[in-house]
Amino acid sequence: MMSTIPLHKNLRLLGHAAKFPVSPDKAKFEKIAKPFSQYDYLVRFTCPEFTSLCPVTGQPDFAHIVIDFVPNKFLIESKSLKLFLQSFRNHGAFHEDCTVMIGHRLIQAIRPKWIRISGYWYPRGGMPIDVFFQHGKLPKEVSVPDTGVKPYRGRG
């Protein structure tokens, strides 16, 4: 049995040229109906080259972001997620703010059953800062694999 989800007519980013949002607040999410809605399953997006700006110095900060979620009725469309994540490049915010904001915006957009944002930030002042945000209840039958990001040792 295959799940066929028709491409939604309301998608404006996928398959079209799109401008980068000027800030995370201006980014627009697009969503699609969850295929195989009778099942719970995990969706993972990984952004190993996330960039934002230090709000104090204006210097770039780098992170490896892992987004895990169990969809409720919708999935996030990946191009809109990529544009949202890229909008942080010129956004000044602390690591905690960036990590939690990603989770907060996704909760607002798709209302997942469960979500976890793992932010593995590269060292600032010689110390890496890792931030984890989780919301909702993980369904018992859903397995969440390790993020695969090793504790800091040059994180290469």
Report the catalytic residues: 54, 61
Which residues have a Cβ under 8 Å from the Cβ of 16 and sit 6 or more positions away?
none
Strands 31-33 and 114-124: unpaired
Taking the C-alpha atoms of residue 119 and residue 128, their distance in angstroms, rounded to an integer, is: 10
Query: Coil, helix or strand for 64?
Result: strand
Reference 115, options 142, 155, 79; nearest CA is: 142
Name the one residue in this structure whose structure tokens are 């409720």: 72
